[in-house]
Structure 1
Amino acid sequence: MGLNATIRLRIQDLSGVGPARRAAERLAREAQLDETRIGRASILVSELATNIARHAAGRGSLALRASPGLLTVAAWDAGPGIADLARAARDGFSTGGTAGTGLGAVGRLSDVVDVTSTPGAGTVITAWLGHRPADAPDVDGLALPIDDDGPCGDAFATRVDDGVMTILLADGLGHGPSAAEASDDAVASLLTGPRRDPAEVLADAHAALRHTRGAAVSVACLDPVRGEVRFAGVGNVAGVVCGAGGARAMAAHNGIVGHQARRLQQFTYPLGARDLVVLHSDGVRGAWGLDAHPGLMRREALTIAATIIRDAERGRDDVSVVVARPGPRGAVA
């Protein structure tokens, strides 16, 4: 399944609330949600946008994604953070006097919600309206264009074969439609081909991208039965395994998939049941980390991806982050 048809709205002040609300309503209809959930989506996104404008001085974004039967919302800011999440989630509590009464409203309006906040660093809220299968692969992420109204040159997708999850993340060279064409073709080579190991997936993508400007591509196969992740990458799409012992970068080779990929070599790394695999494009600075946010590794994959973008986005390139755990969602507490 593809995961990255996402709209980003940067909230600078209260004038951004109306456009965010209208976008939520439109996408909720595209997701074919019922009228009740469409109304809840409108209020939910208005509340999140208002909170960013009032509490974070406009230093935040909303990302919205529609898929059949489901609207996904991510909101992040670099504001002061929330010192007491439990108190903020109580009905009637709102430091800004918003109509929806803060996090209490977010919880009531969403079918699933996840919140993390670090004092001094900001808050990330992810929410889902509609049906989200509990046994779906535990993987999610964001791919966002440098120009919020333009196509994204980064793309990603995942597939599961006999319990092995394969993730591909592509960063098309440059920006705009030509970069998007290259990354989309790389994704298609994963989704339409047979099950392959990472080096073989890269070889398929290399052949598929010869007519394009090319891309940096990384592929990871998470195998919970073997307790390992197999990885192959060409170009500057990073792969990292995060666990209790810290973060370990996975090895990739220089080159351009579709043009100059002399070595298609894969490597194998141990993968624990509670470990994370993170893939990201060079729109993210390499010096990111999760240790500054206690408990973050236990949050939703989308919450972690949004936090990394909030903390480490370069701001001069398309940006993408994918986060995955071995096994189905909810298998590890």
Structure 2
Amino acid sequence: METVLASVCRQVSLPVREASEIAAARRAANELAKDHGLDETACGRVALVVMEAATNIVKHAGQGEMLLRRVTAGGVPGVEVIALDAGPGMADLAGSARDGTSTAGSYGVGLGAMQRVADEIDIYTYPGKGTAIWMTVWQRTPPPASWQIGAACVALPGETACGDSWGVCTEPGSFVVLVADGLGHGPVAAEAAEAATAALVARPALPPGALMQDVQAALRSTRGAAVAIAAIDATTETGRFAGIGNIAASVIEDGQRRQLVSHNGIVGSNMRKVQEMPLAWSERALLLLHSDGLGTRWSLDAYPGLESCHAGLIAAVLYRDFARRRDDVTVLVVRAQQGGAS
């Protein structure tokens, strides 16, 4: 079983508004890659895609944001790069990716360079809805993955510790996921949220209801948290869900959104009896969970084609457009591997 934890691969959020911040983003990316064990060549590739993406943001949108995250797959280290802007978007993505094509008076090699240098890339752009680019650069080719995991987990502006956390444990035919939102903000909230994900790691095979009881015990010495847990078995096309507090959860398939019901309470404090609910699953479905740092009035219907994109791109677009910016925020998306971005 492979485990991915927010606390181990915390995202770095970097504003991109002017030329000096392009250089700062490039340096931050290079340092993050180096600290994660990537060699000089791979670090250079990470720095290059970040520089090209940040340059495009400044030239075409005026301002935006970069999210950087350490990732590991099958023991292979890598860096995930997400570039977000709310600019005019691209009406002709294929044309914009050709070298020499530019609408800003530049040489027009940025998008094409990113596609050549990144190991994986997926792009969502739509006229009037900005552009989002998801990329990974690996030290070497990782083994094939059964599941796509996409996340945006960002602290309240001004805080160094994020009071949200998440964890995913995967096997080829199944996965279990937990999202926790510690009460309040800062280090004390982070302590509660990370205690919840530690309980997941300790016994990931438990059903969601039983695992929630473990989380309750683990959080008794903390201020508590809102927690949601889902377990999916793709071989039987079924799943189970348990939620306490205001973590929103949905299963989305072919444009239809089925919301999963959480119950009132605080895990670690006044949690009442946990109720599991069954859910149906298919290879086309995606599971989406988010903390209350994300507004609830989102719909993938407003983004033609986004549902078919990589899980990381879906999480990033919703974060960009619906984060409240006055709270920690987490958006987590898990879906079956769709053959990989190119």
User: Does the C-alpha gap of structure 1 residues 94 and 184 become closer, same or farther in structure 2, counting only changes over 3 Å?
Assistant: same
1:93 aligns with 2:132: no
- Structure 1 distance, partners of 2:94, 2:309, is 16
1:66 matched residue in structure 2: 70
2:252 matched residue in structure 1: 242
**Equivalent of 2:309 in 299, 303, 314:** 299
- Structure 2 distance, partners of 1:100, 1:257, is 52
Query: Cα offset for 1:328?
Result: 4.5
1:24 aligns with 2:34: no
User: Does the C-alpha gap of structure 1 residues 194 and 36 become closer, same or farther in structure 2, counting only changes over 3 Å?
Assistant: closer
User: Does the C-alpha gap of structure 1 residues 122 and 245 become closer, same or farther in structure 2, counting only changes over 3 Å?
Assistant: closer
**Equivalent of 1:268 in 270, 278, 282:** 278
1:94-152 deviation line (CA, Å, top 9, x unaligned) = 32345671210111121111111011011110111114432242222121101366111
- Structure 2 distance, partners of 1:99, 1:38, is 24
- Structure 1 distance, partners of 2:85, 2:325, is 15
1:215 aligns with 2:219: no
1:253-276 deviation line (CA, Å, top 9, x unaligned) = 011110011031110121221011
2:54 matched residue in structure 1: 49
1:38 matched residue in structure 2: 43
Is the 2:151–2:332 Cα contact (8 Å) retained in structure 1?
yes
User: Does the C-alpha gap of structure 1 residues 43 and 247 become closer, same or farther in structure 2, counting only changes over 3 Å?
Assistant: same
- Structure 2 distance, partners of 1:43, 1:332, is 19
Is the 2:226–2:244 Cα contact (8 Å) retained in structure 1?
yes
Is the 1:217–1:235 Cα contact (8 Å) retained in structure 2?
yes
- Structure 2 distance, partners of 1:188, 1:100, is 46
- Structure 2 distance, partners of 1:132, 1:118, is 31
The alignment's C-alpha RMSD in Å is 1.9
Is the 1:33–1:70 Cα contact (8 Å) retained in structure 2?
yes
1:320 matched residue in structure 2: 330
Query: Cα offset for 1:194?
Result: 4.7
1:12 matched residue in structure 2: 17
Q: Tell which deviates more after alignment, 222-231 or 103-112.
A: 222-231
Query: Secondary structure in 1 aligned to 2:52?
Result: helix
Is the 2:255–2:300 Cα contact (8 Å) retained in structure 1?
no
- Structure 1 distance, partners of 2:248, 2:330, is 11
**Equivalent of 1:330 in 304, 327, 339:** 339
Q: Would you say how many aligned residue pairs link Structure 1 and Structure 2?
A: 331
Structure 2 length-normalised TM = 0.92
User: Does the C-alpha gap of structure 1 residues 56 and 279 become closer, same or farther in structure 2, counting only changes over 3 Å?
Assistant: same
- Structure 1 distance, partners of 2:5, 2:99, is 33
Which letter maps to 2:293? G
1:154 aligns with 2:164: yes
Alignment of structure 1 residues 88-237 onto 2, 5 Å: 88-98=96-106, 101-130=109-138, 131-147=141-157, 150-161=160-171, 163-237=173-247
Q: Tell which deviates more after alignment, 80-89 or 269-278.
A: 269-278
- Structure 2 distance, partners of 1:194, 1:312, is 31
Gaps of 5+ in 1: none
Query: Cα offset for 1:304?
Result: 0.5
Query: Cα offset for 1:296?
Result: 1.1
Which letter maps to 1:330? G
Query: Cα offset for 1:160?
Result: 2.5
Which letter maps to 1:207? A
Instruction: Calculate percent identity across the aligned residue pairs.
Output: 43
